[in-house]
Structure 1
Amino acid sequence: MHHKLLCLMTVLMIVTLCLTACGGGGTPAPAVPPSSGPTPVSANAAQPTATPPAPEAMTPKELGDKIGAVYVRSLEAVTKLLERKPDAANVLPQVKDLKEQTLQQLIELGKQREALNASDRTSVDNAINLALGKIANEAWYKTYTELSGYYFDKDQDLQKVLASFNIIGQYANFDLLKQQEPKEAERLGIK
């Protein structure tokens, strides 16, 4: 078991480093924990408009910081969700929901990144990489890595989704997503 965990940790770190070297696309994106459901709407509330509000204007560094924060929050959230080692079948839907919420946030941020020139994209990626470089020594990240090893032996479906959080940042880097997960990019309408 210890050998498997060590191997898994090594693989996860190598994947992260490789994605970082590929232009920062290995930027895992933090997620916000799932909401408790839809917000009630009063009868007098304005109906939604056809166009969503424009995203706030951010500098490339601010955008990279935000993407990095989404990635880190998602890893923290999935770690918290699994830290007591719940039954895989019971928690898998929640983990999938968290991943979906996170990737939707990252796609929206990725659209902003896509609109930038190459130099500004590099600035975004540098900010993301800086955020990612800080997590390796965090106690919760060690727990995340241990959980990945734990579920590797218990449930491959959950372990696969859990491991995907490590590279979830690719959803904010469309070129990387299309290269590494072309079917997923197609499913999401990313061209």
Structure 2
Amino acid sequence: MSFRLAALLIALLTGPAMADDRAILNEAFDAAIATFEAARPALVETEMGVHVAAYRDALTLQQFQSGHWGGRVTLDPDIRDTSDGSCSRFAAFVRIPPENGVVRLVFCPQFFSDGADGLRELTVLHEMVHVVAGPDECQAMAFAARVEQAATGTFTPVDAYWQASGCEGSGFRLPE
């Protein structure tokens, strides 16, 4: 009997928080989609090694036909409630390559922190590059910046992360 009571209490205590996180995640995806759609007319078919149609499908439909991974891939967003493992270092990360046609995109507690609204959209834009095109951090930063700039005329400064990732020597560039 006490196990059932404890399980019920946990469900009641975590249920609304998880619902709040899902709402925040949906808002971040909606903002990322709006920014991407505003940028799309200025993007070419393959932008910085990212197939734009596959990226759009992954972002909007959460499934896409992948030339990079080969075959149909489905996105599995996963909200974590603890900051352990990779969540101790990141707000979000992608588990790649796909397993059985599924790429898991993990959202950590930091993603849902108060005051992180502006970074949530950028995080979604960035992580979706990994979902579609692989693990290259420089590629993900450059593509997300390109999308932001094409949509708004400016992009979020990522200079420190760019330098820390050694992107100066990569084949990718941030917009000017």
Question: Which protein is richer in helix relative to its size?
Answer: 1
TM-score (norm 1): 0.32
Question: Which protein is richer in strand relative to its size?
Answer: 2
User: Which fold has the larger relative contact order, with Cα–Cα distance below 8 Å and residues 6 or more apart in sequence?
Assistant: 1
